[in-house]
């Protein structure tokens, strides 16, 4: 049985923050990443939580990420916010961009945020969640190093490229939040199985010849299986268009991996669309989303996307999170 230790969310944030700073990250860049790490652990997405802190720290130390970077904001058009992440952490660039995006969307009705020269933004839904809390419908897209092959091919050309959409609710929290990758499973889950020496289910990844495999190491050298076959490839291409081609970020085929120390900064991108639903629906949005959700809730056994994360989040706020002891040891080793 895997040994675990229970930490509060505040302890997870503090540990993450101190490790990032110890590795050479500025406090301004470490704080939003530490906050996101705690929120991710609360949601039960351990593959994107504390387990990533040693990787982030390694990437600061090897130069794959500039821990001292300062995002640069520009406004090409009234409803367009552009941020050059300057090869720093995506979280700082997104925070900086949101400061301009949210008021622009409220004033214009819709606004977009284009981020280039960025990095892994973690759980994409964490960011769209915040747009919904601001009363906006938030759409998010982020590209990643190539790991999905085109239909009929075997050589990766696009990343797992997730998209997310969050709709505001009457209580100031998202009424609906969808967050999914273009692959059957996030690549970080396959990496997690590889680290733990566990096989992966059939359908998660393919070998170098495009055949199914249960060996995570073989899958990581091959390609990720697209969700829904050719439809998943289509989603990945859509995200690549928005998050890379539209932002001036590096295409996944040219981006260095989010793991390991080779290749320098990946310089990937993010793209967000923020919409004021009051400006588009004439006040009908609240009733529309409420009726849609009720149609799902009224069915016995039915659930909404994000229900699992939401229920775990509530428990974590009072009971903390059981964290893998080996992961904790790696993070604590950074602090000496």
Give the pLDDT band of residue 186 (cuts 50, 70, 90).
Answer: confident
Give the pLDDT band (50/70/90) at residue 1: low
State if pTM tops 0.75: yes
Do 83 and 156 lie in one domain? The reply is yes
For residue 281, the model assigns a pLDDT of 84
Residue 185 has pLDDT above 90, yes or no: no
pLDDT digits 0-9 by tens, 107-118? 999 999 999 999
CA dihedral over 94, 166, 181, 3, signed as positive or negative: positive
Percent of the residues in the chain that have a pLDDT greater than 70, as a whole number: 100
The token pair at 150 is: 């085109």
Task: Please indicate whether residue 48 is annotated as part of the active site.
Answer: yes
Q: Is residue 289 part of a domain?
A: yes
Q: Which of 34-38, 127-131, 255-259, 268-272 has the lowest mean pLDDT?
A: 255-259
How many Cα neighbours within 13 Å face the side chain of 254?
A: 11
Whether 110 is in a domain gets the answer yes
Concatenated DSSP letters for 168-180? E-TTSSEEEEEEE
Q: Give the domain CATH number at 331.
A: 1.10.1530.10
275 shares a domain with 139 = yes
Q: Based on the domain organization, do 153 and 97 belong to the same domain?
A: yes
Q: Do 289 and 332 reside in the same domain of the chain?
A: no
Predicted confidence (pLDDT) per residue in 318-329, tens digit: 999 999 999 999
Does 291 reside within a domain? Answer: yes
Residue in 16, 47, 181, 188 annotated catalytic: 47
Please state, in angstroms and rounded to a whole number, the distance separating the CA atoms of residues 132 and 170.
10
How many domains would you assign to the chain? Answer: 2
Same domain, 2 and 116: no
**Would you say residue 208 lies in a domain?**
no
Pick 247 or 197 by higher pLDDT. 247
On whether residue 7 sits in a domain, the answer given is yes
Average pLDDT over residues 300-310: 92
The chain-wide mean pLDDT, for the chain, equals 95
Q: Give the model confidence (pLDDT) of 117-128 as tens digits.
A: 999 999 999 999
Taking residues 72-78, what's their average pLDDT?
Answer: 98
Residues 10 and 122 in one domain: no
Within a domain: 199: no
Ranges assigned E (strand) in the chain: 4-7, 72-77, 80-84, 110-118, 137-142, 163-168, 174-180, 205-206, 212-213, 223-224, 268-275, 321-324
Assess contact for 159 and 181: CB atoms under 8 A.
no
Cα separation, 27 vs 101, in Å, equals: 23
What range does the domain containing 22 cover? 1-62+307-336
Residue 47 appears among annotated catalytic residues? yes
Query: Among 13, 16, 41, 48, which one carries the catalytic annotation?
Result: 48
């Amino acid at each position: 049985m895997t040994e675990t230790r229970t930490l509060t969310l505040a302890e997870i944030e503090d540990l993450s923050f101190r490790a990032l700073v110890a590795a050479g990250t500025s406090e301004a860049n470490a704080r939003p990443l530490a906050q996101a790490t705690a929120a991710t652990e609360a949601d039960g997405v351990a593959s994107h939580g504390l387990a990533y802190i040693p990787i982030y720290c390694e990437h600061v130390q090897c130069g794959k990420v500039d821990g001292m970077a300062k995002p640069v904001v520009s406004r090409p058009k009234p409803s367009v916010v552009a941020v050059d992440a300057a090869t720093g952490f995506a979280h700082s660039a997104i925070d900086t961009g949101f400061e301009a995006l949210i008021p622009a969307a409220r004033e214009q009705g819709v606004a977009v945020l284009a981020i280039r020269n960025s990095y892994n933004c973690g759980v994409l839904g964490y960011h769209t969640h915040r747009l919904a809390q601001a009363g906006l419908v938030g759409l998010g897209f982020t590209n990643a190093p190539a790991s999905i092959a085109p239909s009929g091919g075997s050589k990766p050309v696009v990343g797992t490229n997730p998209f997310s959409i969050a709709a505001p609710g009457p209580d100031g929290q998202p009424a609906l939040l969808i967050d999914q990758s273009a692959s059957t499973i996030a690549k970080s889950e396959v990496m997690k199985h590889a680290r733990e020496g566990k096989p992966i289910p059939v359908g998660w990844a393919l070998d170098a010849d495009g055949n199914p495999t249960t060996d995570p190491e073989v899958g990581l050298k091959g390609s990720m299986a697209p969700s829904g076959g050719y439809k998943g490839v289509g989603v990945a291409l859509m995200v690549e268009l928005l998050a890379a081609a539209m932002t001036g970020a590096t295409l996944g085929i040219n981006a260095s991996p989010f793991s390991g120390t080779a290749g320098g900064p990946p310089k990937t991108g993010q793209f967000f669309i923020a919409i004021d639903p009051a400006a588009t629906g004439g006040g009908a949005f609240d009733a529309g989303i409420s009726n849609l959700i009720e149609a799902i809730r009224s069915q016995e056994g039915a659930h909404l996307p994000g229900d699992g994360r939401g229920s775990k989040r509530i428990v974590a706020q009072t009971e903390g999170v059981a964290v893998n002891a080996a992961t904790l040891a790696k993070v604590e080793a950074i602090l000496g």
